[in-house]
Structure 1
């Protein structure tokens, strides 16, 4: 079936804001938090949604949208099933990329770095802050594995709901927890007129100092 629209003609001439070397923070994570806060204040749809891109041991990439759940002094936090496809790929190759896009602000952020598992205590804390149904879902779903039907998934959910019904606190599954992506390269993109966009990139020199450069759009 052919598309009804000529997608080659779809374009937006961005013009809301500018981005300069003088206006950014000297620290990439501080600058990211500033932009994230502005996206939340602007009521950007799913402001914490990010594309997580991973690569397996054959060099083949895969990507999916996950939710940012925290920003520390060293990186960005997200949680998932360690046995999922992304978990397996991170075990094979512990480097990944994150992409945020906030159309309402005409902004994009690209983040690359090493990924490490967070401390079990931190995973426990976040897990127990989730709704009970989400906690049970972490037990019920064999994430990324082939299943016979939707009914099987719902039956597993029912079984674990009954299993944990008498407990005041549902234990966190060992296969579920958090990761922190520790940035080594962060690019901030601000849409500008006529495709002459602003691109400012931060590259980590050591544990705390960043080199800031402007890139051609």
Structure 2
């Protein structure tokens, strides 16, 4: 949870996370073991969070002058490559249906692209209109919509895209990261529908926050850094 708070609040993690391979497995409660590549939600592994933690700490190193911009970019390139090349460990002891495997794959790819968007926003300082961010945004929307094939991301769908409702809790953060760089009415409409699948028991209602970011962006006439928007408007956000 600390890492997710750092994602929203732009601060360091409580524990040093200098490498995604540096943290061993540990027991959380009873026989519940947390391992970097063992899913704690369908399609979501702790390694994704460690990637975020490394981004947050690198951003703080740059902000505090502990690293030069060139050094930060060099580290970011290494991290970016790790995210792109990451592959899930296949647990041969567990059997899943084809539908479940497809859902899991789509969720993993949504997280991968959300991580890439965040990295490029906070470490490369790229805006929402940059080609790499637009490509990842299109991919997240496609992977997150039930009517599209996850293997064929496209920014010009020929059929209506409908966000998948069954995996909203696992995909809430990727959907929000997508919202932070959505500039078109088409993309925002899909994201609004995705947020509408929020469970009454799980998930934080982030749609009002996304709407604030969009309103500020539209007023400015150009994409804005979403954390700065929320800070200026006095909005404190924490992922739980």
By the TM > 0.5 criterion, same fold?
A: no
Which TM bucket (shorter chain)?
under 0.3
- Give the structure-2-normalised TM-score: 0.24
Structure with the larger RCO, 1 or 2 (CA within 8 Å, 6+ apart) = 1
Q: Which has the higher helix share?
A: 2
Give the greater-gyration-radius structure (CA).
1
Q: Which has the higher strand share?
A: 1
